[in-house]
Chains A and B, each alone.
Chain A
Amino acid sequence: MLNSETIRLSNGRSWQVYGGGTGPALVWLHGLSGINPGDPMIAALERKHRVIAPLAPGFTDLAELDEIGNIHELALDYDDLLEHLQLDGAILVGHSFGAMVAAEIAAHFPRRAKKLVLLAPVGMWNDAYPVADIFAEPFIMVEGLLWHDQEARAALAARRSNEAGPQSDAERIIAVAQGLTAITKFTWPIPDKGLRKRLPRIAAATLAVFGEKDSFVPPRYAEDFAKGLREVQTVVVKGAGHMLPYEKTDEVVGLIETFLAA
């Protein structure tokens, strides 16, 4: 089980922050399913890093989003947290929507990111290969679309239910709905909120990883990120879907560690 603590900022905001481990500071910005008690990706990253994994605003309480009107205010919200934690120049690693957030933090406040890792990042739009409209899928279908490896999906669900008790279908669907709701302000109806024109502001060397079988964010978005970033390495992981950090955990962690060691 992961450690977590509640951090209260002087502006009144409070954050739930997970993580542990020792080593260089690494901020994990989670994807659509939030942070789960036995998150294997965080556990794997903790082997060599001090992981700081904040739960994105809205994932437990949608009211947290009342005063966050757009992606810029979201970037400010994270900047306040990083300032409080005295994290200047951390490694930012994000998955899915979290990768969009990581890129936006690094673009708005370049000194916050020493290195940047984007796993199946949302945040761009290309007419030639649009991202899928997961908002227009019945909630119960969404997880199936995000995962390519359905066995890995079942294994993670089983592990989660061992650790935190079984989750009913209804609660699972509500969790999906709440996660999607929390990101609508920043991704509706198209997740392009100007990241493309801000990418050149990012100073950190970047690793962008895509899943070959991602049916939400097509791997061709590697080209779009490669074009905009100053120093970037792109990788497409064979046989992985959008949930690539959970479908190919060892491979993805290996890529990250090699990139960070370089």
Chain B
Amino acid sequence: MKFHWFHLMPYPELPENFKTDYRSVWVDVPSSLFDPKVGHRAYNDYLDELEYAESVGFDGICVNEHHQNAYGLMPSPNLIAAALARRTSRAKLVIMGNSVALYDPPTRVAEEMAMLDCMSGGRIVAGFPVGTPMDTVFAYGKSPATLREKYYEGCKLVLRAWTEPEPFAFNGKYTQLRYVNVWPRPIQKPHPPVWIPGGGSVETWDWCVDNDFLYANLSYFGYLQGQKVNDGYWATVERAGKELNPYRCGFLQFIGVAENDAEAERLYSGPALYFYQRCLHTYPGFGNPAGYTSVPTMRAGIESMVARSTNRNAVEGLTWKDLIERGYVVAGSPESVVQQLDNLANKMHVGHLMVLCHYGDMSKEVTLYNTTRFAKEVIPKLRNKFSEYEDKWWPTQTLDQIAEPAPLTAFV
């Protein structure tokens, strides 16, 4: 198994009364709540934490893209990846990823990711999410009816731009370019591994399986809830007659490692409840705009959709006990966490585990404690799991000699 340290980069000082006094953490969250000085500290702490994860042995460090979101301060994951490229040398930079349909032309994504692959010495994973409705249709104004088609066209353009040796013309429905000729070029050939973050739509499973992209199930609701989505994905893999290789699947899980259950609750319940009660406080109208979900998909999932449109908060009244019992957070002693994750990996058949060791308003001290214990006491116990499979979804062409930042010498 491989383990990746994922940062959402939440704003750490949302007010106590956020849930009752504000409509949404996303899209129209008031900018008056953002203090740039807090932002300065948060970004620098968060970069430290990601870099620290490399030093204790995580395989990858993950960044992602959100817009107008108080729990995700990374409108540009590529900026964060660029900063990480300089101070890390071994961990892969898992960019989860760039919402291709938001960029005109989408070759911008091909350019920036190629830059990052060069800067990092061939260490990037290229993630291409469709993007949530909050990010894409509300914050970036894309029509939900055409978003997915534009996304597919953009992804194909990016991959072609990376692989075709000569300049070419692209006459698409959404993008027309007379000269596609991306400079620089990625180190990894034919292109960096492609990971597709998703939340359970049938179309995305087919897209991943047909193209041999990794499917990453990015759920905030743990492995017990995420099972159905993974089952659907693996059924699609099986139908296509492809190898049921756990490395073609990723999963996101909240983690809290401590001496025992009591210490886990003391350290992690505050940050976890901050996340579930303040960070997940999104106005329901933003969650499922017309056209984002196809009518057949709506018809298939009508009960949950009805529930979603009437239920103001699916996370209302959650307690720490609920978070543990429902598996939203895997927490406890290292032995307990190992046992739960072993169970998760078996049930979901997941080779790439993305872990959130930071969430909500967790302090740097607690984050590093959680990260260290996970790296030292959990990873070694699960490291050899699935070693009989070849991981074909991982950067393997990283340069032997990675350039290091030169010391800053004074010219006198």
Q: What residues make up the interface of B, taking CB atoms closer than 8 Å to A?
A: 27, 137-138, 141, 143-146, 283-286, 288-291, 293, 295, 298-299, 302-303, 305-306, 308-310
- Set A169, A174, A185: member contacting B145, Cβ < 8 A: A185
B145: chain A residues at CB < 8 Å are: 62, 65, 181, 184-185, 188
A179: chain B residues at CB < 8 Å are: 290
**Could you name 25 residue pairs across A and B whose Cβ atoms are closer than 8 Å?**
A65-B145, A135-B144, A135-B290, A136-B27, A138-B308, A138-B309, A139-B288, A141-B285, A141-B309, A170-B306, A173-B302, A173-B305, A174-B298, A177-B295, A179-B290, A181-B291, A184-B143, A184-B145, A184-B290, A185-B143, A185-B146, A188-B143, A188-B145, A189-B137, A189-B143
Q: A106-154: which residues lie under 8 A (CB-CB) from chain B?
A: 135-141
Contact yes or no, B309 A180, CB < 8 A: no
A178: chain B residues at CB < 8 Å are: 290, 295
B311 to A, closest residue via Cβ: A138
Q: What residues make up the interface of A, taking CB atoms closer than 8 Å to B?
A: 62, 65, 135-141, 169-170, 173-174, 176-181, 184-185, 188-189
B305: chain A residues at CB < 8 Å are: 170, 173
Contact yes or no, B306 A173, CB < 8 A: yes
Question: How far apart are the CA atoms of A180 and B289 in the complex, in Å?
Answer: 9
Question: Knowing A184-B145, A185-B146, A188-B143 touch, does A136 contact B285 (C-beta < 8 A)?
Answer: yes
Contact yes or no, A135 B309, CB < 8 A: no
Query: Interface residues of B: mostly helix, strand, loop or mixed?
Result: helix
Contact yes or no, B299 A136, CB < 8 A: no
B306: chain A residues at CB < 8 Å are: 140, 169-170, 173
Contact yes or no, B309 A173, CB < 8 A: yes
Contact yes or no, B137 A188, CB < 8 A: yes
Not counting A176-B290, A181-B144, A181-B291, a sample of 13 additional A-B residue pairs whose C-beta atoms are within 8 angstroms of each other reads A137-B285, A138-B310, A139-B309, A140-B310, A170-B302, A170-B305, A170-B306, A173-B306, A180-B291, A184-B143, A184-B144, A185-B145, A188-B141
B310 to A, closest residue via Cβ: A140
Question: How far apart are the CA atoms of A141 and B295 in the complex, in Å?
Answer: 18
Contact yes or no, B143 A174, CB < 8 A: no
A170: chain B residues at CB < 8 Å are: 302-303, 305-306
Contact yes or no, A138 B285, CB < 8 A: yes
B201 CB, min distance to chain A CBs, angstroms: 15
A261 CB, min distance to chain B CBs, angstroms: 39
B144: chain A residues at CB < 8 Å are: 135, 181, 184, 188
Question: How far apart are the CA atoms of A181 and B296 in the complex, in Å?
Answer: 13
Question: Knowing A138-B285, A140-B309, A188-B143 touch, does A181 contact B302 (C-beta < 8 A)?
Answer: no
A139: chain B residues at CB < 8 Å are: 288, 290, 309
Q: Give me the 10 closest cross-chain CB pairs, A-B, nearest first.
A: A180-B290, A138-B309, A181-B291, A188-B143, A181-B290, A189-B141, A184-B145, A136-B285, A170-B302, A137-B285
A227 CB, min distance to chain B CBs, angstroms: 26
Question: How far apart are the CA atoms of A85 and B79 in the complex, in Å?
Answer: 57
